[in-house]
Amino acid sequence: MACTSCHGDGFSDASVMQNACESCHLEALNKFSDTHPKSKFTDPRNAELLSHLDATQCVSCHREHKPEITRAYGVTLAKDFCAHCHQDIAEERDSHKEFGFETCTNSGCHNYHDNTALYENFLRKHANEPALNKKPKIPALTGLVEWNKKNKQTPPLQLQDADAPAAYKDENIVNQWALSHHATANVNCSQCHAQNDNWQITSTALTIDSCIECHIKQNESFKEGKHGMRLADKLSKKLSPMSPALATLPMHQDAMSQINTCVSCHDPHQPDLTFAAADACLGCHQDEHSTNFYSSKHGQLWRDSQNGLLPAEQAVSCATCHMPRLKKGKKVHAEHNQNANLQPNSKMIRSVCSNCHGVEFTLEALASDEQIQSNFSNSLEGHHSSMDLVRDRIEQRKKKQ
C-alpha cells in the first residue's frame, strides 16, 4: 500500500492515520470482547489514564517503521506499553512483584484487545482439567449432511445432467464433477462457468466471485484472513491477490507464482476437503512448524484417519487448528480467516485447543517456541505458572470465607 494510504498528504493530522487504521482493522476488532475499547478511555472517569498513554490512538502502541519493536508476526508493539497504566500492579497483587514490565503479554498472561481465554474467572473454571479430554468436541466435517437432510427428495445431478456446451465438455472433468459434492448439492456447470452468457473455462477466469453465491460465510472470512485479505472489496482495486511470493514465512519455491483464491486449495470439479485440510497447506508452506506436521502427534492422528484407523472427528489437520469448523445452531462452516485465532496464539485456546486439551496443558504448549516449531511433538508436563497464580487466588478466597 502507498504511504498516503495511512498518512494522507503532507498536511494531514493524526485523525487521518487513526481513520486509516480503523478502516481496515476496526471490523475485526469489534468481533472480539475488547477489554480496552476506545469508550473506556473517552470516559471522563478514566481521563488520568490518557496522561500516561493515549490509548484512543492505534499508533500509541503500534507505531510503524520501528524495526526494534516489530514482533515476528509483523505488528509493532513496545514491550513496556502495559506498564504505562499498570505500574502499581505489584502493589495490588503480591503474586506480580517478581514480574518484569516486559512479561505482561507472554503467552498465558494478557492480551490487550481480547482476554476471552485469559481472564481469571475462565482460568479458575478450568484450573484442574486433564491434559487430554476424554471426548473431543469438534463439529461435524461440513454442512453438506444437513443440506442432504433438507433436500432428501432432490436427486443429485448425474453425468448426463452436465449443462456445459458440447464444445467445452471434457470427459475427465465431467466424470469428476458427477461424483463431487457439487453434483450432490445440485450445482451444475453453468452456475460457476457461465457469466453474462460467456463461458469462463480456465481456472484463472474462475475468480472468488464464482464461489460467493453459495459460500457466503466462507467468502467473508476468507477476505478477512491472510490468504484473501488483498481481495477485500476496499483493497482489491489497489492490490494484487496474495501469493506465496509475498509471504514472510518460508514457502516452496515451485509455489511462488500461485495466487490465492478458492481454487488454490479446492478443486471445484472434485472438492476434496481432506486434501484442502493438510496437503494443500503444505504445498505452499515450508516453515519449520509446517514441515513437522506429519511427524507430529497430530499428523499421526491425521494419517490414521486417512487409513481408516480413526474416526474423522478425532483427526487433527492443519485446518482443524488454523481454519476451525464453527457451529451455530445446526449450521457448520469453516473459519477461513486465519487471523481470527493466530496472533496472539492465546486466541486458539477457546476456539481450538480446548476442544481436545485442558487449558493448562494448552497454555504450556502455546508458550513454548520450541513446541510450536516442532508442531507440538515433544512431551509436555501439563503445568503453567499462570495456573499457579489462579490456584493461589482460589486458596486465598477459601481462607477469607
Residue in the structure block whose three cell numbers are 481513520 = 19
The rounded mean pLDDT for the chain is 86
Q: What percent of the chain shows pLDDT beyond 90?
A: 27
Closest residue by Cα to residue 157 from 130, 133, 132, 178: 178
pLDDT at 131 over 70: yes
This prediction has a pTM of: 0.84
| Tens of pLDDT, residues 215-264 | 888 898 999 888 998 888 777 778 888 999 999 899 999 999 998 988 88
Quote the number of domains for the chain.
Answer: 1
Query: 331-334 and 198-199: which strand pairing?
Result: unpaired
Task: Give the DSSP letter of residue 195.
Answer: E
Residue 228 within a domain:
no
Residue 256 within a domain:
no
Q: What is the pLDDT of residue 346?
A: 85
Residue in the structure block whose three cell numbers are 475488547 = 34
pLDDT at 203 over 60: no
Residue 193 within a domain:
yes
Higher pLDDT: 310 or 203? It is 310
DSSP lists the bridge partners of residue 325 as 334
Residue 150 within a domain:
yes
What is the pLDDT averaged over residues 137-154?
A: 70
Separation CA 315–CA 317 (nearest Å)? 7
Residue 152 within a domain:
yes
Residue 159 within a domain:
yes
Residue 188 within a domain:
yes
Separation CA 37–CA 20 (nearest Å)? 17
Q: What is the pLDDT of residue 140?
A: 66
pLDDT-derived band at 374 (thresholds 50, 70, 90) equals very high
**Which residue type does 97 have?**
K
Query: Any long-range contacts for 55-59 (C-beta under 8 Å, 24+ apart)?
Result: 55/85, 56/18, 57/14, 57/18, 58/17, 58/18, 58/21, 58/22, 58/25, 59/14, 59/17, 59/18, 59/21
Q: Is 363 exposed, middle or buried (0-12, 13-18, 19+ CB in 10 A)?
A: buried
Checking phi first, is residue 326 left (phi over 0); if not, alpha (psi -120 to 50) or beta?
beta
Q: What is the pLDDT of residue 295?
A: 95
Q: What is the pLDDT of residue 201?
A: 66
Separation CA 143–CA 217 (nearest Å)? 12
Q: What is the pLDDT of residue 151?
A: 74
pLDDT at 55 over 60: yes
In 329-394 the beta strands, taken as DSSP E runs, fall at 331-334
Residue 99, C-alpha cell as written in the block:
514480574
Residue 183 within a domain:
yes
Which residue range(s) make up the domain with 169? 145-201
pLDDT at 197 over 70: no
pLDDT-derived band at 48 (thresholds 50, 70, 90) equals confident
